[in-house]
């Protein structure tokens, strides 16, 4: 299955304009190496867009800034190898600076301080459709609830009704690397979809079945203050079907989320 090629054709001229504008670069001296990468844009379009959508389903944040849009990546220092893998994937394809992700300390609401990493793509008008596709304005209830909790809420992630058109093996792999978890005793996996509504998980469940013939189940979780959330769960037998679909697109340091070692072999119980 391939992604819609009209994205590349429609936005290629806009992409060129964005790339030629050195204000998109962290330093003007970076412009030549990125101009050299223009010839590879169409070659990498499918894989980059598939990866971007996987990360958007996961932890990445799509930041609409005026007439252009960029993606922001933030993660714990514990997952530095994975963040560096993502940064290398996008930077070598000309979508972000080659400067390494920034390390900083982040204050958690619990009062603890955690080491974190972050980086962002360049801003492109050709990314605007990703924001429109995966974000919506909050309802009055959502806005009111977050205001009481002293949280800013400008947009909320959503699952588009045509998500089946965008789920490729690479998309699923990047999403799983972001939010997947392996249950060692049971041999099952789950994807943290806590921020989405039950109806949206229904869309994901159907798309995963239609596209990959995987039977993901929806499990309910009750969080503090009786807050009900939902996750996607895959049985042990179904994990065997998942592995060959997504493993070719994963960095080996994330194989443990499939119950595999760095060489792709099953981790034996001790």
Select from 253, 261, 262 the least CA-distant residue to 84: 253
Q: Which fold has domain 160-258?
A: Endonuclease I-creI (3.10.28)
The whole-number pLDDT of residue 216 equals 98
Q: How far is CA 244 from CA 209, 212, 221, 249, in A?
A: 16, 11, 29, 10
What is the residue-averaged pLDDT of the chain?
Answer: 84
Q: What is the DSSP letter of 235?
A: -
The whole-number pLDDT of residue 43 equals 61
pLDDT in tens, 122-136: 998 889 999 999 999
Residue 17 predicted with pLDDT over 90: no
pLDDT in tens, 156-198: 999 999 999 999 999 999 999 999 999 998 999 999 999 999 9
Helix, strand, or coil (residue 220): strand
Measured CA angle at 117 (ends 115, 122), to 5 deg: 160
The whole-number pLDDT of residue 94 equals 86
Q: What is the DSSP letter of 201?
A: H
Render the burial of 67-90: b for 16+ CB within 10 Å, e for the rest.
Answer: ebbbbebbbeeebbebbbbbbebb
Q: Can you give the residue ranges of every domain in the chain?
A: 6-142, 160-258
Q: Which fold has domain 6-142?
A: Endonuclease I-creI (3.10.28)
pLDDT in tens, 199-250: 999 999 999 999 999 999 999 988 777 688 999 999 999 999 999 999 999 9
Render the burial of 211-232: b for 16+ CB within 10 Å, e for the rest.
Answer: bbebebeeeeeeeeeeeebbbb
The whole-number pLDDT of residue 146 equals 58
* 32 band by pLDDT with thresholds 50, 70 and 90: very low
Residue 256 predicted with pLDDT over 90: yes
Cα 82 to Cα 175: distance, rounded to the nearest angstrom: 12
* 120 band by pLDDT with thresholds 50, 70 and 90: very high
Domains 6-142 and 160-258 share a fold: yes
Select from 95, 113, 114 the least CA-distant residue to 34: 95
């Amino acid at each position: 299955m391939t992604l819609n090629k009209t994205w590349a054709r429609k936005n290629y001229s806009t992409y060129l304009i964005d790339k030629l504008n050195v204000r998109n670069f962290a330093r003007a001296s970076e412009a030549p190496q990125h101009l050299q990468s223009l010839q590879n844009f169409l070659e990498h379009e499918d894989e980059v867009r598939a990866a971007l959508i996987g990360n958007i389903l996961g932890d990445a944040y799509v930041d609409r800034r005026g007439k252009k849009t960029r993606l922001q990546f933030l993660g714990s220092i514990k997952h530095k190898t994975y963040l560096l893998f993502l940064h290398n994937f996008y930077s070598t394809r000309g979508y972000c600076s080659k400067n390494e992700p920034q390390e900083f300390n982040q204050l958690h609401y619990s009062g603890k301080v955690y080491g974190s990493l972050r980086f962002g793509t360049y801003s492109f008008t050709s990314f605007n459709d990703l924001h429109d596709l995966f974000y919506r304005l909050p309802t009055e209830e959502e806005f009111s609830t977050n205001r009481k909790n002293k949280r800013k809420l400008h947009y909320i992630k959503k699952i588009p009704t045509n998500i089946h058109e965008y789920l490729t093996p690479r998309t699923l792999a990047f999403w799983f690397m972001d939010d997947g978890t392996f249950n060692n005793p049971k041999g099952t996996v789950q994807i943290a979809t806590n921020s989405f509504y039950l109806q949206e998980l229904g869309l994901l469940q159907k798309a995963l079945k239609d596209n990959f013939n995987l039977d993901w189940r929806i499990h309910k979780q009750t969080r503090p203050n009786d807050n009900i959330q939902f996750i996607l769960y895959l049985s042990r037998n179904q994990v065997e079907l998942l592995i060959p679909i997504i493993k070719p697109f994963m960095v080996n340091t994330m194989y443990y989320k499939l119950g595999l070692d760095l060489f792709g072999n099953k981790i034996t119980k001790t």
